[in-house]
Amino acid sequence: MALLSIDHLSISFGGLAAVYNLSMEIEQGALYGLIGPNGAGKTTVFNLLTGVYKPKEGLIRLDGQDITGLAPAQISAAGIARTFQNIRLFRALSVIDNVKVGLHESFPYSTLAGVLRLPSFRKQEQAIDDRAMEILEIFKLGEQRDLLAANLPYGAQRKLEIARALATKPKLLLLDEPAAGMNPGETQELMDTIRYIRDELGLTVLLIEHDMRLVSGICEQLTVLNFGRMLAQGETKQVLQDPEVIKAYLGE
């Protein structure tokens, strides 16, 4: 059974169908790409998957569980984490605290324990700190742990967003244009990290990307969106050679 299955998903804004009748299935452990021209509705799909928008029609299932229309926090608990196209960090928090927010649900000591500094607080905070450092080290951000997130360079901010997403222990990781604004060296490093996340941490990754080098480099399967509708779907190589897809990207 697929980890994520999207069934006839539709949403419209002001009468305009942003996503229409979209179906796709992502297998456990897949590296899946969602591509398409600007305004095709890719980010809208992410917003539907993470509960920012409620779909007008359709069904979303994660690991067999129906998550259609759940609130964002519930979807996070169900196992989907994401990054944002326009980076959304907790800017006034330190780098490590950004990750610690992601660990929030995994270490649920009570408010009282926190305020009174009970043993459960001390024990769990230690574990939170250790775990957060482990995650930061994956992205080589350990040394910047006490820096404010807002003061990180751009590329590091994108990495920190992924680190924060990983901290929520997701089954499925959604990356919205992770390579945007990165130079070729940084993009290469990012590709390695994404592969590491899939191979070593066993996550399933769905990503939106315009950088074709990254898409063809790591995505095994693709869905192409155009005007909110599915244009092509399948193995990366075949999809990228599809004349319809080329037409949509390059125009007539």
Partner 1 sequence: MLNTIRRKYGFYIVIVLFWLLMTLLKSAGALSSHFASLLVPMTYYAIAAVALNLCVGILGELSIGHAGFMCIGAFSGAIFSLLTKEALPGALRFFLAFLVGIALAALFGFLIGIPVLRLKGDYLAIVTLAFGEIIKNILQAVYFGVDSKGVHLALDMTDFTLEPDGLTLIKGPQGVSGTPRDSSFTVGIIVLLLALVLVHHLMDSRDGRAIMAIRDNRIAAEATGIHVTRYKMLAFTLSAAIAGAAGVLFSHNVTTMTNITNYFNYNASIMLLVYVVLGGIGNINGSVVAAMILYLLPEMMRGLQRYRMLIYAIVLILMMLFNWSPALVEKRRKAVAWLKNKLPGRGKGVA
Partner 2 sequence: MSFLNYLINGLSLGSVYAIIALGYTMVYGIAKMLNFAHGDIIMVGSYIVYSAMSMAGMHPAIAILIAMVGCMVLGVVTERVAYRPLRGASSSLAVLITAIGVSYLLQNIALLVFGADTKAFTSVINWKGITLFDGELQIRGTTIITIAVGLLVLFGLQAFIHRTKSGQAMLAVAQDRGAATLCGIDVNKTIAITFAIGSSLAAVAGVLFCSTYPTITPYIGSMPGIKAFVAAVFGGIGSIPGAMIGGLTLGVIEILSRTYISSQLSEAIVFAILIVVLLVKPTGLLGKRVMEKV
Report the interface residues with partner 2, using CB under 8 A.
Answer: 43, 47, 52, 84
Q: Are 245 and 224 in contact (CB under 8 A)?
A: yes
Q: In this complex, which beta carbon is closest to partner 2, that of residue 50 or of residue 157?
A: 50
Out of 56, 61, 121, 186, the residue judged to bind partner 1 by CB under 8 A = 121
Give min distance, CB of 44 to partner 2, in A.
9
Q: How far apart are CA 210 and CA 208, in angstroms?
A: 7
Partner touching 38 among partner 2, partner 1, none, CB below 5 to 8 Å by kind = none
- Which 62-91 residues touch partner 1, going by CB under 8 A? 71-73, 76-77, 81-82, 84, 88-91
Q: How far is the CB of 53 from partner 2 (least distance, A)?
A: 8
Q: Which does 43 bind (CB under 5 to 8 A by kind): partner 2, partner 1, none?
A: partner 2
Cα distance between residue 5 and residue 91, in whole Å: 34
Residue 100 within binding range of partner 1, rule CB under 8 A = yes
Give the x-and-dash track for 132-171 against partner 1 (CB under 8 A).
--------------------------------xx-xx---
Nearer to partner 1, 114 or 153 (CB): 114
Half-sphere exposure of 175 (CA within 13 A, CB side): 32
Within 8 A by CB and 6+ apart from 112, the residues are 118
Alpha-carbon distance of 237 to 117, in angstroms, equals 56
Give, in degrees to the nearest 5, the angle at Cα 42 between 175 and 157.
30
Instruction: Name the 3-class secondary structure at 236.
Output: helix
Q: Is 109 in the site for partner 1 (CB under 8 A)?
A: yes
Strands of the chain (E only): list them: 4-13, 16-26, 31-35, 57-62, 65-66, 80-82, 172-176, 204-208, 221-226, 229-235
By CB under 8 A, is residue 221 in contact with partner 1?
no
Minimum CB distance to partner 1 smaller for 29 or for 114: 114
- Least distance between partner 1 and beta carbon 174 (Å): 9
Interacting span for partner 1 (CB under 8 A) from 4-12, 60-68, 100-108, 235-243: 100-108
Q: How many residues bind partner 1 (CB under 8 A)?
A: 39
Cβ atoms of residues 33 and 179 within 8 Å? no
- Helix %, strand %, coil % for the chain, to 5? 45, 25, 30
101 contributes a contact to partner 1 by CB under 8 A:
yes
- Token digits for 234? 């399948």
The contact set with partner 1 (CB under 8 A) reads 50-52, 71-73, 76-77, 81-82, 84, 88-93, 97-98, 100-102, 104-105, 107-109, 111, 114-117, 121, 125, 128, 164-165, 167-168
